[in-house]
Structure 1
């Protein structure tokens, strides 16, 4: 990719991140392009679909969560590792308002641009959950799909203005339910 095209792409991603954080995942692509001082055609040349744009935005964060899970699998207690990763995962999902619905749909749709990133993230969480279950510190009647759904639910709570003040408390309630002892 040419240097100017890379610069435009990076600028579009930075602006898109800000707009989506403010307006949610359904923010107007035209508004993103306008705020980036570029035409819609330029945005669509780099990101032909909304999902492609969201995948580019989220991939770095999801890759970091996957790497973090790998590090946590060998350090600290299994329960602490799981809770730490869950907190960070919820924070990433919450950072871009409205993305949880897209993540939930993408995990079931292999054709989705977000599918691979979501599957990798779910697998990373499943590894931490399995480790905690093997250590006897997490319930054995849940799996990675349940954990992924809990992340989506907790991120959604943070998106709701009436629930946002209770999001941390509810995170603690949910994690204490997932963990045993």
Structure 2
């Protein structure tokens, strides 16, 4: 009986954690803004010719970068759980040469961020590269006035570009 109760408690705890993660992801989607031009990290990656082959914009928000890069004849798809984009299950069948993940990790907790990094690595071709951009201008961590979550992120990965407002890390398949 005691073991059965523990099993139910573990099941309940897992369900609660899953609901917390879903709510965090929903809140993260509220940070997506409309852009009239490519995002600054994406513009830099394009200028440096680091976007090649099949490209996935993971956490693409409203898809503005995806549309602009398609206009430049790039093969790119976008995935974001909070906005109309490529279906996750379709995306999971593919491996990509280049993956971008711009300003996503700043909006999720550390454990969710680690799961996203693991997913990016899994979605890469063996010689693929992911570029993870994080904000560097967050003054106060926690909930914002728009009821979204923001945090500073420092990763143990090579840095390809760092300014006072953002940092781009490089993740390889390994």
TM above 0.5: no
Q: TM-score, normalised by structure 1?
A: 0.30
Larger strand percent:
2
Larger helix percent:
1
Q: TM-score, normalised by structure 2?
A: 0.31
